[in-house]
Structure 1
């Protein structure tokens, strides 16, 4: 039988464990963006590395407090323009400097490319990002293309990689006149990612989670053609999530799985097939647009 000292010790240990659990839960509630976004202020590669002509872009954003902050980006005009434009929304790590090589691939396909950093990334101003602010930043980039560059929405393709795919899906819902949507290596929701990674499943996730990026509930409402691309060897975001997004999306839609490709090297592993897949998608969009005129 437990004596009073042992019982007191057990109660104390239980109380400490409970307080620790509650403390971690509260920390995760308020600081969860730190586990989602991994920005860097250092831009290591610019379009100059690929001998690309480009312009620095600074886009004003009004915060909820009424303050004006600026998004930094690069406008890379097509060498021989076919009128097609790609709005490139990168993932949760580093900044546009880590994405310029992939943006260059789209440029080689004939796109003019607008590549932006969300607030808190690279040279963009603002505090640490959140789901709400990155959605706003993507919308500001879209408005820049349409209202300042005077580009017809039917000429703009929205591209997003990983977390950027969730941002691209959200933007596509707001812009049903866009030409098309390309979602690469993205996930169904942050909630599903937590289940996949398992590290935080001991916490009351549904009560704590505020940054949801719930793409799986959004894709059924898409009104534009969508292309999902994913590597089958992606250990960060399983390819099954793109399959689930594809299944939930309406037609017209495509799903391309690249055997042996991971999270960040789909285009490298796919090689020329990547170019063919994207160019075929753009061609099919063009055919559909002509048929609707």
Structure 2
């Protein structure tokens, strides 16, 4: 019995360690944020608040969304997906910049972010939230000439997952993107470390790139201290055509588009008109 008790105790310790590792990944990789602040109304921009129901099969709950209609119902429309440690409020400048291009914009907070209820998100849950939002987005903009998705940072990986499995994606913009969280971890440490095996919430896009037939635009700044530009270049190189890139010197991770907003606008225009 002594040996059996030791084995059971060891198994219990292993299961506890695995559970803690799972929770740690979800917390640190997804970094849910409850930051709040200004809304489009504070800038004189009309918008509507939506709460999109998530099916019970996907855990239930609500996805918080902003809908910023364009002046014309036939204007191109874009679904904006923010990254980790961000919310609708922290990324409002980028959201409004997209709206100033004449686009209709839907932007969301995944469950566990922003004004939503407490929830510890996972890779699976944010993928599900984006797909729920895509369906609502298409219903909101049935006459739009194009339906695009713009993902920033971790939102870029979510955008690529959605574009690989969802119908009607006319263009994908990935801002500050990467191929996997493991690649980022290796870039900060050593390439031989087994992060691929250790990280379950890896947000890997390797197997999805071939399934994304829509035109793709990759945006990156050399001053990005979160995702090295070399990882963005690798993502671009491995992606299928049609594709384009806007890689700029300087800038940073959170507001690369500000480095040259005119070039950013021209690059988006090319994707929209492709």
Shorter chain as normaliser: what TM range?
0.7 to 0.9
In the alignment, is residue 167 of structure 1 matched against residue 158 of structure 2?
A: yes
- SS of equivalent residue, structure 1 residue 216: coil
* Residues 248 and 201 of structure 1, relative CA distance in 2, 3 Å threshold: closer
Partner of residue 55 from structure 2, selected from 58, 62, 66:
62
Partner of residue 196 from structure 1, selected from 176, 187, 190:
187
* Residues 122 and 200 of structure 1, relative CA distance in 2, 3 Å threshold: farther
1:42-88 residue CA offsets vs partner (Å, 9 max, x unmatched): 311211222100001110002447x6311111100113454211000
Partner of residue 96 from structure 2, selected from 95, 104, 107:
104
Return the index of the structure with the highest Cα Rg. 1
Distance in 2 between residues matched to 1:24 and 1:258, nearest whole Å: 42
Equivalent residue, structure 2, for 1:37: 30
* Residues 187 and 240 of structure 1, relative CA distance in 2, 3 Å threshold: same
Please say if residues 176 and 223 of structure 1, whose CA atoms lie closer than 8 Å, have aligned partners that are also in contact. Answer: no
- Unmatched 5+ residue regions in structure 1? 1-19, 286-293
Distance in 1 between residues matched to 2:15 and 2:86, nearest whole Å: 31
1:41-120 alignment runs, 5 A limit: 41-64=34-57, 68-120=60-112
TM-score, normalised with respect to structure 1: 0.82
How many residue pairs get matched?
262
- 1:94 Cα offset (Å): 2.8
* Residues 259 and 211 of structure 1, relative CA distance in 2, 3 Å threshold: same
Equivalent residue, structure 2, for 1:135: 127
Partner of residue 240 from structure 2, selected from 233, 250, 257:
250
User: Which is further off, 232-241 or 40-49?
Assistant: 40-49
Distance in 2 between residues matched to 1:263 and 1:102, nearest whole Å: 12
The Cα RMSD (Å) is: 2.5
Please say if residues 235 and 262 of structure 1, whose CA atoms lie closer than 8 Å, have aligned partners that are also in contact. Answer: yes
